[in-house]
Amino acid sequence: MNRFDYVRPATFAEAIAAASEPGAAYLAGGTNLLDLMKGGVVRPGRLVDVSRLPGLGAIEWLADGGVRIGALVRNADLAHDPEFARRFPAVAEALLSGASAQLRNMATVGGNLLQRTRCAYFYDVAGACNKRQPGAGCEARGGETRNAAVLGWSEHCIATHPSDFCVALVALDAVVEIAGKRGERAVPLEGFHRLPGETPEQESVLEPGELIIAVRLPAEAASFSRHVRYLKIRDRTSFAFAVASAAAALRIEQGAIVAARIALGGVAPKPWRARLAERTLIGVGPDRPHFDRAAAAALADARPSGDNAFKIELAHRIVARALALAAAGTPARLPALPASPFAPVAGVLHA
Amino acid sequence: MPEIVLSAAPAHLRHGSTIGQPLTRRDGILKVSGGARFAADNHPPGMLYAVLAVSSIARGRVALLDVAAAKAHPGVVEIMTSANKPPLALDPDAKTNPFMRRLELLQNDRVRYANQPIAVVIAETLEAATEGAALLSPRYEEEAPRARLDAAESFVPPAVGVGQPSETEIGDVEAGLARSSRRIEATYETPTQFHNPMEPHAIVAAWDGDTLTVDTPSQGLAMAQARIAGLFGIPAENILIRSPFLGGGFGCKGLFTGPQVLGIMAARLVGRPVKLVLRREQMFGPVGHRAPTRQTLRLATSADGALLALSHHTRTASSTFDDFFEPASDVSHTLYASPAIRTSYEAVRLDTGTPTFMRAPGEASGSIALESAIDEMAEACGMDPLAFRLRNYAELEPISGKPFSSKALRACYAEGAERFGWQARPLKPREMCDASGLLVGWGVGTATFPALMFQGQARAVIRKDGTGIVETGAEDMGQGAWTALAQIAADGLGLSLEQMEFRSGSSDLPDAGIAGGSAHTATAGMAIAGAGAEAIAKLAALATGDERSALFGAGNAGVIARGGRLFRRDDESRSESYADILNRAGLAEIEGRGSSAADPVAQANYAMHAHGAVFAEVKVDPELGQIRVTRLVGAFAAGRIINPRLVRSQYYGGMIWGVSFALHEHGAFDSRSGRPMNPNLGEYHVPVNADIPSIEAILVAEEDRHVNALGIKGVGEIAITGTAGAVANAVWHATGRRIRRFPITLERLTEPLPR
Ligand SMILES: Cc1cc2nc3c(=O)[nH]c(=O)nc-3n(C[C@H](O)[C@H](O)[C@H](O)COP(=O)(O)OP(=O)(O)OC[C@H]3O[C@@H](n4cnc5c(N)ncnc54)[C@H](O)[C@@H]3O)c2cc1C
Ligand code: SF4
């Protein structure tokens, strides 16, 4: 591990000033950043530890029914907040389907949004990676590409964004609150992460020194609470990143869908909102043919980035299944195996 | 000896022998309270930290190391390279016996595989050493690596495993195949696997002149000691290895590895104690792995389902510079009766580290292929897979024609099937569904593992206060040697566990042989029992020859040792305590020595194996392909059970590894660079608790009079075999899809949907 400075600012302003220097990085739960540092994947010259900054640790209910989640709220605390889980069950389910209990106890909301890709070549410091070293090339191309993206990738980078939490959030129109040298701003999560294009090293719209201070969910997001699910396919039953995942939310009135939200995970460089697919569902009945049509729309632009064509079909099926699960109704209790197809829900496959 | 205070045994559950009682691990409290000191927990005064720099290419040579930059880093003390390494007494590439690995000890600039050590950085702190290693910024002359089973010309290896022939045939396989209309031929592939014990290889080495003290996990203390002695040209007695606890071994801590030797060399170079701990990713290269295999099985039966021919061919790989050939075909020698059996091998040489023994080496990889093929053959015969296995039950060992020393496999099949509810299984695949619409399948596999024994020694002492000591350099990898061997020791001395001290885990004790081949309890246990018996015999001679003793003249009637007293066998009212006997004789203590080895006569006349039957239920999501093993029942017969609790947990562990083999473990390599691409426990998957919702192990009674006097077979590895195949067979039964490439992953099961 390289030598680095460690600072623990007392205020936002101090934090932002300290992190604006080149080579500085914020440290929150450290579950991602410290691993990367130990592997030499990132080598920050200065760690700005915000984990004790006051004012970032609360879940606040807003007057209009929305919620504001401080950037330092732990993943576990948020998922287990009863009021939060009641209004946003799929977000809680997504959180609990991620990582392990120990990691969720440590990981923060802000850190989850900014966790780096799990591309094996990003971790393999001996190989070329445009994210680690802009312009070096992308060794993932032509290599082991099972986990690579099928949507939104470019010739320069085919990596996926690994977060589960973000998929549910982006489906529900979450907004990221950011503080920087020029004050505070709010950015919809959908526009927060960037596609790789020619600059895969630029992963978000954050400017140097900018700090995530909160994530907001609008009141409308809770209006889906009766028909909202997160579904995650993985190589083992728990403690694995998604091979592909989907969040689906429906508002159903008199047998017809009046509002729909769909997002995909594990298949794109960012949490992937499928707006066109959502539109195909407005006004139709909640049944499998419509869900299949929506799924097809969600994957219309998908193309393999290597040996991963199966993910297109798989993602299609996950979207259709997540919609069917959402239509069947949010379970009264969070399943013991969150977001797993093995959480028993009778009759779902035949919905 | 380090202070190792084992938990007192609980008050006896019943009188008589300690053997057979389900004691909890006597090192359990030490482990869960942090009191068990593992190798890397040792910090002798003045200790420095060493970190390996490893190669990022798989083939070529190191052209340049920036030693100056690394050395300039604050805290770095020394860089050990091929230029300044301390001299060795033996060429690291010399191999004088098959239980020896050729090692990379900086002997030259060649790179033979990715993650090969190319330098060692020694520093005041771990962080400084780590950064020093990064600053070496090696440059290479790279050659194209050979990374896949198809990447090189194959040859027939001279031997496989440890000296087993690479070609064996009984009967005429081709004739059998030609004669039958019922035949199958199928090819199965198993991947590279890495042992991945929780505790990485670690060593703390301290020299004092020409004597050396080493803390390091080892599955074979005496072998390690001899290896170090040979390499450094010092007498073995000068070397003390302490290895009281291993955080798992699974075979990769069996033969002494290069990184461990490098830790000792580093300590010699700097003249201070040095600690070297492998990083997780460095476990993927220099410490061994299970080689990939491609196995082709050809089977033929008569019209009524009797096997006529069984041919098992394996293509596998070793490194370019050393030999270890995974003996996968050999499992077909012993399991199913067939008048014609042929096993054969071919191998390629790849730019990888040298493979080694890993959790049922050969048996595990061979079993998943054989059990799959047997299932395919049963299907071709239209038979229930269990009925088919019973139809081809081997009464004699097929390859040798010898009788089995014992074989309670029929009882395993029966008890396992009963417990699992096998008779309700529909013959055809894809007939069962649960309430959520998940496909359900049931599969069976036969488990088998040879009952081996190595050579071991032990010492037993009875002291004049009536207490005892038993010593043997056994190795506890977590399997429970501290407990099970102490149970044997207590019975051997006729004492309760509280009345005796059991010492183990250190090379200054008698050599207990290796903890491997599932043979440790038999090997060390027989030596311990022998030592106890000799001590008791000496004590009895004192008493029966002394007219002041109540036992005087017992002579041929003999005595029984129990609870710290000797009793006349023909009159138990006449007895005397050990203390009284010794005190009267004026002796402080009496010593017995025991040794063990396989009995060549029994071996010549009997085939010796443990057996079992494993039943698995899986559920598969038909659209999404995700698989879960929802139920596992294993029934195993392995001779005398010393401690049923420990044995059951060995079976559980083995069965979980079997699931891991079938569904999870896979060392991914980039075929262009030859580098491992998932060298961490986040991506190299083994099952988590949620993957194993229900597991049962049935201990089937079996008495064996031939394997050894205690009747002990091994239990450590057997449960992997059988289980892996049972899971694969259950996946077929659930889905109707026969996946022949392991692990079975979800994309191989998602089926095209009509749309
Ligand atoms: C073994 C393993 C398995 C995992 N499995 C999953 C999984 O299945 N699903 C899943 O979704 N995730 C998974 N994770 C990832 C985990 O969710 C993230 O590591 C975690 O959310 C990161 O949060 P943190 O607070 O620890 O972030 P840190 O590691 O502290 O920081 C991560 C990044 O965010 C930046 N950062 C942190 N906070 C702020 C802020 N307030 N403003 C600006 N920048 C900030 C840091 O500079 C850093 O670049 C897994 C992680 C591990 C190690
Ligand atoms: S896919 Fe992206 S992260 Fe992976 S190696 Fe290529 S550039 Fe780097």
CATH 3.30.70.141 fits B408-452+604-750, yes or no: no
Cβ of A116 below 6 Å from ligand 2: no
Contact B324, B341 (CB under 8 A): no
> Which pLDDT value is given to residue A346?
41
CB contact under 8 A, A236 and B437: no
Task: Encode pLDDT of B147-182 as tens digits.
Answer: 999 999 999 999 999 999 999 999 999 999 999 989
Task: Encode pLDDT of B594-633 as tens digits.
Answer: 999 999 999 999 999 999 999 999 999 999 999 999 999 9
Instruction: For this complex, say whether ipTM is above 0.90.
Output: yes
Residue A77 contacts by C-beta under 8 Å, 6 or more apart in sequence?
A: A59
B440 has which bridge partners? Answer: B432, B619
CB nearest to B134's CB, from A40, A142, A310: A40
- Counting ligand 1 atoms within 8 A of each CB, the residue from A27, A32, A118 with the most, and so the one to mutate, is A32
Overall fold of domain A222-328: Enolase-like; domain 1 (3.30.390)
> Which pLDDT value is given to residue A349?
46
> Which pLDDT value is given to residue A215?
98
Mean pLDDT of A166-195: 98
Task: Kindly state the helix (H) or strand (E) to which residue B605 belongs, with its residue range.
Answer: helix B600-605
> Which pLDDT value is given to residue B6?
82
Reported as a pLDDT band with limits 50, 70 and 90, residue B737 is: very high
Distance (Å) from CA A42 to ligand 1 centroid: 14
> Which pLDDT value is given to residue B751?
63
- Interface test with chain A among B278, B675, B694, B748, by most A beta carbons within 10 Å: B675
> Which pLDDT value is given to residue B1?
42
**Ligand (nearest to CA of A132):** 2
Mean pLDDT of B514-531: 96
Distance (Å) from CA A106 to ligand 2 centroid: 27
Parallel, antiparallel, or unpaired: how do β-strands A46-49 and A5-7 relate? Answer: parallel
Dihedral sign, CA of B653, B656, B662, B664?
Answer: negative
- State the catalytic residue, choosing from B104, B124, B717, B751: B717
**Ligand (nearest to CA of A140):** 2
Distance (Å) from CA A128 to ligand 2 centroid: 8
Reported as a pLDDT band with limits 50, 70 and 90, residue A94 is: very high
Chain length of chain A? 351
B498 phi/psi in degrees, rounded to 5: -70, -25
> Which pLDDT value is given to residue A344?
65
Distance (Å) from CA B43 to ligand 2 centroid: 40
**Ligand (nearest to CA of A145):** 2
**Average pLDDT along chain B:** 96
Mean pLDDT of B716-745: 97
Distance (Å) from CA B684 to ligand 2 centroid: 20
- Interface test with chain A among B51, B747, B750, by most A beta carbons within 10 Å: B747
Cβ of A130 below 6 Å from ligand 2: yes
> Which pLDDT value is given to residue B97?
86
Which residues on chain A are in Cβ contact (under 8 Å) with B134?
2, 40
Whether the CB of B663 is below 8 Å from some CB of chain A: the reply is yes
Cβ of A9 below 6 Å from ligand 1: no
CATH architecture type of domain A5-52? 2-Layer Sandwich (3.30)
**Residue B512: closest CA among B460, B469, B457:** B457
> Which pLDDT value is given to residue B2?
44
Task: Kindly state the helix (H) or strand (E) to which residue A16 belongs, with its residue range.
Answer: helix A12-19
Span(s) in chain A for CATH 3.30.465.10: 59-114+161-221
> Which pLDDT value is given to residue B181?
86
User: What part of A 278-297 touches B (C-beta under 8 Å)?
Assistant: 292
B754: pLDDT strictly greater than 70: no
Query: In Å, how far is A319's CA from the nearest CA of chain B?
Result: 11
Task: Please tell me the distance from the alpha carbon of residue B227 to that of residue A145, in angstroms, as a whole number.
Answer: 42
Which residues on chain B are in Cβ contact (under 8 Å) with A3?
74, 131
CB nearest to B685's CB, from A235, A318, A340: A235
B283 has which bridge partners? Answer: none
Whether the CB of B735 is below 8 Å from some CB of chain A: the reply is no
Span(s) in chain B for CATH 3.30.365.10: 2-35+453-597, 408-452+604-750
> Which pLDDT value is given to residue B17?
84
Reported as a pLDDT band with limits 50, 70 and 90, residue A343 is: confident
Query: In Å, how far is A31's CA from the nearest CA of chain B?
Result: 12
DSSP A135-149: TS--TTTTS--TTS-
B650: pLDDT strictly greater than 80: yes
Residue A291 contacts by C-beta under 8 Å, 6 or more apart in sequence?
A: A281, A319, A320, A323, A324, A327
User: CA–CA distance from A268 to each of A119, A147, A169, A327, B718 (Å)?
Assistant: 12, 10, 15, 25, 43
Reported as a pLDDT band with limits 50, 70 and 90, residue B7 is: confident
Which residues on chain B are in Cβ contact (under 8 Å) with A314?
624-625, 746-747, 750
CB contact under 8 A, B690 and A234: no
- DSSP code at position B136: T
User: What part of B 428-487 touches A (C-beta under 8 Å)?
Assistant: 434-438
What residue's CA is closest to ligand 1, atom 17?
Answer: A112
Q: Amino acid letter at B381?
A: C
Q: Which residue of A has its CA nearest to B668?
A: A144
CB contact under 8 A, A1 and B747: no
Task: Please tell me the distance from the alpha carbon of residue B481 to that of residue B258, in angstroms, as a whole number.
Answer: 26
Lowest mean pLDDT among B9-18, B40-49, B611-620: B9-18
- Counting ligand 1 atoms within 8 A of each CB, the residue from A20, A114, A165 with the most, and so the one to mutate, is A114
- DSSP code at position B97: S
Distance (Å) from CA B285 to ligand 1 centroid: 29
> Which pLDDT value is given to residue B3?
62
Q: Which residue of B has its CA nearest to A337?
A: B690
CB contact under 8 A, A237 and B690: yes
User: What part of B 74-103 touches A (C-beta under 8 Å)?
Assistant: 74
User: What part of B 666-725 touches A (C-beta under 8 Å)?
Assistant: 668, 670, 672-673, 675, 677-678, 680, 682-683, 685, 687-691
Lowest mean pLDDT among A80-94, A167-181, B318-332, B552-566: B552-566
Which residues on chain A are in Cβ contact (under 8 Å) with B670?
127, 139, 143-144
B717 classed as catalytic? yes
Cβ of A200 below 6 Å from ligand 2: yes
Whether the CB of A124 is below 8 Å from some CB of chain B: the reply is yes
Locate B569 and state its tokens: 């066998």
Task: Please tell me the distance from the alpha carbon of residue B736 to that of residue B432, in angstroms, as a whole number.
Answer: 11
> Which pLDDT value is given to residue B263?
98
B9: pLDDT strictly greater than 70: no
CATH 3.30.365.10 fits B2-35+453-597, yes or no: yes
Report how far apart the first and last C-alpha atoms of chain A are (Å, whole number). Answer: 53
> Which pLDDT value is given to residue A1?
75
Span(s) in chain A for CATH 3.30.390.50: 222-328
Contact B140, B61 (CB under 8 A): yes
Which residues on chain B are in Cβ contact (under 8 Å) with A123?
680
CB contact under 8 A, A127 and B664: no
Q: Amino acid letter at B586?
A: G
Q: Which residue of A has its CA nearest to B282?
A: A39
**Ligand (nearest to CA of A69):** 1
Mean pLDDT of B182-209: 98
Overall fold of domain A59-114+161-221: 3.30.465
Cβ of A33 below 6 Å from ligand 2: no
User: What part of A 247-276 touches B (C-beta under 8 Å)?
Assistant: none
Query: In Å, how far is A203's CA from the nearest CA of chain B?
Result: 23
Mean pLDDT of A6-12: 96
**Ligand (nearest to CA of A201):** 2
Task: Encode pLDDT of B416-439 as tens digits.
Answer: 999 999 999 999 999 999 999 999
CB contact under 8 A, A342 and B626: yes
CA angle, A262 as apex, A260 and A264 as ends, to 5°?
A: 175
Which residues on chain A are in Cβ contact (under 8 Å) with B51?
none
Task: Please tell me the distance from the alpha carbon of residue B114 to that of residue B117, in angstroms, as a whole number.
Answer: 9
Span(s) in chain A for CATH 3.30.43.10: 5-52
